Chains A and B, each alone.
Chain A
Amino acid sequence: MAALALALVMFSIVFPLVSALVFIVVRKEHKRVKNLIYFGQTFISLVAMAALLFFVGGGFSFTVVFLNFNVTLQFALVALAIVTANFLVMFYNIGHGYSGSIQYDIFMCVLLSSLIGGVFATDLITNYIFLDLTLFSAGYLIFSIKDGVRAAYKFTFMNFLASMLILFSIIIFSSYTGGFSIQPLTSAYGFEKLVFFGLLIGVLTKVGAVPFHLWVSSAYSESAVPVAAILAGAANCVGLLMLYKIMPILQVGYFLQIIGIVTALYASIIAINQHVLRKRFAYFSIAETGFIIYAFSLGNPEAIAGGFILLITQIFVKPVLFLFSGLLTEEHGLIKKVHNFGLFGLVTGSFSIAGIPITGGFLGKYLILYSAYLARDYLSIALLLLASFFLLYSFLLSYSKVSALKQESEPHFTTLMSIMILSMIIILIGLVPIITGWIWTL
């Protein structure tokens, strides 16, 4: 089974890179062939990750060259969520013709490969390498549309600074411990606080937490719709997973709790004041990140479970919101046309962000608030509920603006299919743990 786990993980990392090479060979005008390759690549990755989760399971560790990977059930589930979201975004991609330039397709493949690698990466240096590959491919993808250069520069500049801080911390960490495996540092080492804060600031910048969120709103609102969907969902998830993995080193739980609450509250307030819908969704995304950071910093089983549910839900929620924004034609904040069918996606995604039943977001936030209640952290509960209220208010503002508009033309069936399936998955994540009784075992 360990060999099969190794084969499936390596296949999921290498196969998109092979597909990227095929894109170089296929000429630009062969659009159908390109779409077929795109479909095949994302579908096969989906099958591989489903096989890993359902037939192999977790509990395997292996080393390839010097890269260390660890397969657990949680990570396999996150990887399956990422490839599923990627598959659905690919469908939207084909319908809207984003799959136009060869570079775009190649970097999409590299991004998927680095995301899967980042999920299973165990030690610090493997995480660093896959995060940097994500930065490289995502930076180019943001740039790939006409006006994306400013957003891409902001994104690459801030994330590159963060990468260097992470590498700096890894070096000091390695000088203490003699390796890269994640383990607690004691105060006997002397300047371990440099490691804490270097890693913390680096990872918080990569996930776009307040006050390191300066790149987020432009990167999500000025890039192509599928890129924003994957960046806000899957790429953000890999950064948050790294935060989860390095928690034994950080030992700054209380400080992180404050960062989480401030991020959720600040982003939810700023979201109200955003008049461009995609910018509002970008702040929704930052707020969700704040909730997850708070959950991981609490550290008890309910909070971790809630954090993971929220983490997996956001992989689908952010694509729903950004794909919905792709249905609109916005100019200087004025919406010109809308397709009514997409409203279902807007409602589901926003309900999940605001923590309204029966979505995955509700379940995750319920568990997080319950664990805060167990920890007698009443002030945090009040502030997080306030953040949820502001998010709901922002959604109502968006809904009133969008629902008043008339449908002008029929959207492509791939768009509707992607939004509908993503919305159904968000509801399923909210229902399945309750129906199967898993939630009551916590």
Chain B
Amino acid sequence: MNPLYPVLLLLSIMIFLDYKFFRVLAYAIAFNFIVAIISLQTEMVSGTVLFLFGCIFFPLLMWFAIEKCEKVEKEWFKEMVAITIISVPALYLFFAYLGITEDHAMLFLIFAFSMIAILTAKNLLKFLFIFDVAENTLILTAYSFFSANITQNLPAVIFIEMATFLPLVLLTYLTIHMFKKYRSLNPWRLWH
């Protein structure tokens, strides 16, 4: 297993737990930077595109979103600790039960944890950060599986990156408008 994978898991947990959004942004940049480094070790084209999107475009977008609608809710912190303590080992055991012990088990773990984090996060900005973690983990896993004619093909890599990045841009844009309209970032207001 790549020794950087546990660091990625730790960063994804920190992104979920922290309530200061500029600190969360720093964790997310670190996360994306490590993802880009891992990708660059094997493939120049996909690694560079991941670096561009993950370490430049995404932080700029998120910085803009935080500036527009930062809202800190410290009381959510306790629930998130409980979710993390329960879900991470439970998911690890689940993957072990399924027999996934290969190199990518940790990436699957990060992705599965991100999905639980998305569904339990109580702040729309938090959604966006966890979405980014899930998305970049997926793309890193994808590039490690995809054949050379995809990962060395610049248009192909940009197509895949754009297809996953554009909805995130739209979600960010909508989050800002949600905040403008409802003056709240509580996602549960959406469903009523």
Contact = CB atoms under 8 A, between A and B. Distances in A.
Contacts of B173: 143
A125 B99 contact: no
A157 B166 contact: no
Main secondary structure of the interface of A (DSSP, over half): helix
* Most B Cβ at <10 Å: residue of A65, A140, A167: A167
Most B CB within 10 A of own CB, among A156, A164, A174: A164
Nearest to A165: B115
Interface string B23-46: 000000000000000000000000
B99 A191 contact: yes
A42 B141 CA distance: 39
B106 interface: no
Interface in B104-158: 104, 111, 115, 118, 127, 131, 134-135, 138, 141-142, 145-147, 149-150, 153, 155-156
Contacts of A190: 98-99
Contacts, number: 96
A160 B174 contact: no
Interface stretch (A127-135, A279-287, A366-374): A127-135
Interface residues of B, number: 39
A168 B138 contact: yes
Contacts of B156: 65-66
Interface stretch (A146-154, A348-356, A397-405, A420-428): A146-154
Contacts of A178: 147
B99 to A, nearest CB: 6
A1 interface: no
The interface residues of chain B, by DSSP majority, are classed as: helix
Contact of B167 (A66, A125, A156, A194): A156
B167 A150 contact: no
Contacts of A125: 150, 160
A2 B160 CA distance: 27
B168 to A, nearest CB: 7
Contacts of B166: 132-133, 136
B189 to A, nearest CB: 8
Interface residues of A, number: 37
Given A157-B127, A163-B164, A171 B141 contact: yes
Contacts of B177: 143, 149
B98 A164 contact: no
A226 interface: no
A191 B97 CA distance: 10
Interface of B: 98-100, 104, 111, 115, 118, 127, 131, 134-135, 138, 141-142, 145-147, 149-150, 153, 155-156, 159-160, 163-164, 166-168, 170-171, 173-175, 177-178, 181, 190-191
Interface of A: 65-67, 125, 128-129, 132-133, 135-136, 139-140, 143, 149-150, 152-154, 156-157, 159-161, 163-164, 167-168, 170-171, 174-175, 178-179, 190-191, 194, 214
